[in-house]
Amino acid sequence: MKFGVIIFPGSNCDHDAYWTIQHVCRQPVTFLWHESHDLENCDAVIVPGGFAYGDYLRTGAIAKFSPVMESVRKFAAGGGLVLGICNGFQILCEAGLLPGALLRNVGLKYVCKPVQVRVENTDTAFTNICTPGEVLTIPIGHMEGNYFCDPATLNELHRGNRVVFRYSSLDGEITAAANPNGSLDNIAGICNPGSNVVGMMPHPERSAEPELRCTDGVKIFQSMVGALAAR
């Protein structure tokens, strides 16, 4: 199997994701340049966090037009695994691979801290080694993490079991106090109808090694490795 990590102008978590895949999960990985259509025969693509194209206009609004994203759309349509992390989640929404939008945080401040997320859906390639209702501690770092969609879309997400993560307390309660950004229904991550595309605001690559004082995030990548190995 082979992973690809996209590099946009302004990406700053690309090397973190690359490191986690190569040194923690011990899987082949390559960087994918934003101006290239070539996904280099990768089996999974990571759209990393950062500030693609400086977040000009709005987060992800320019990145969605990059040549690599045209290939990512086709890759996803064919069942390829795509994980968007933070800015990557914003890009996937702008590109139409996921519904909704990420708005400015309630309070209009950048938020950077560890948070708890409850795993709502374990029937994805990104959460298959987790247990339903499991609480993971994973850090966030964003200004626009406030997930929003219209009522019809929210109903669709719930009906299709497409809410993958929700902000929660340490004991798994879904409360307003546990919501760091005002996100609708405490949503921290969602998937597409095929469950092969996931976007999440927390950074699992920042919580994948003991040196980071948390290893919960590695479960996301280990799930992907297991899913690819089973194909």
Distance CA 66, CA 39 (A): 13
Contacting residues for 6 by C-beta, under 8 A, at least 6 apart: 14, 31, 32, 33, 34, 45, 46, 47, 48, 68, 72, 88
Q: What is the DSSP letter of 182?
A: -
Give the active site residue among 94, 149, 205, 214: 205
210 forms beta bridges with none
pLDDT at 183 over 90: yes
From the candidates 149, 191, 203, 214, give the one annotated as an active-site residue.
Answer: 203
What six digits make up the tokens of 32? 């994918």
pLDDT higher than 90, residue 57 = no
Residue 211 annotated to the active site? no
Q: What is the pLDDT of residue 108?
A: 92
Cα 164 → chain centroid = 10
Q: Residue 50 — very low, low, confident or very high, per pLDDT cuts 50/70/90?
A: very high
Average pLDDT over residues 72-96: 98
pLDDT value of position 40: 97
**149 annotated active-site:** no
Residue 186: pLDDT above 90? yes
- Token pair for residue 29? 């990985």
∠ Cα 136 81 183 (to 5°): 45
> What are the CA-CA distances from residue 163 to residues 23, 61, 71, 100, 198 (Å)?
30, 23, 25, 12, 10
Of 165, 198, 170, 169, the residue nearest 183 (C-alpha): 165
pLDDT for residue 191: 98
98 close to 192: Cβ distance less than 8 angstroms = yes
Find where tokens 């229904």 sit: 185
3-state secondary structure of 64: helix
Distance from C-alpha of 3 to C-alpha of 193, rounded to nearest angstrom: 22
- What is residue 199's three-state secondary structure? strand
Give the right CATH number for 3-230 from 3.40.50.880, 3.30.950.10, 3.10.310.10, 3.40.630.10.
3.40.50.880
pLDDT value of residue 100:
98
Q: Where are the domains of the chain?
A: 3-230
Active site residue 205: yes
Rounded Cα gap, residues 86 and 190, in angstroms: 12
Interatomic CA distance for residues 225 and 125, integer angstroms: 8
Helix (H) or strand (E) holding 116: strand 111-119
3-class state of residue 29 by DSSP? strand
What's the rounded mean pLDDT across residues 183-210? 97
Percent with pLDDT over 70 in the chain: 100
Q: Of residues 13, 86, 93, 130, which has the active-site annotation?
A: 86
Look-up: residue for tokens 């990985």? Answer: 29
Residue type, 86: C
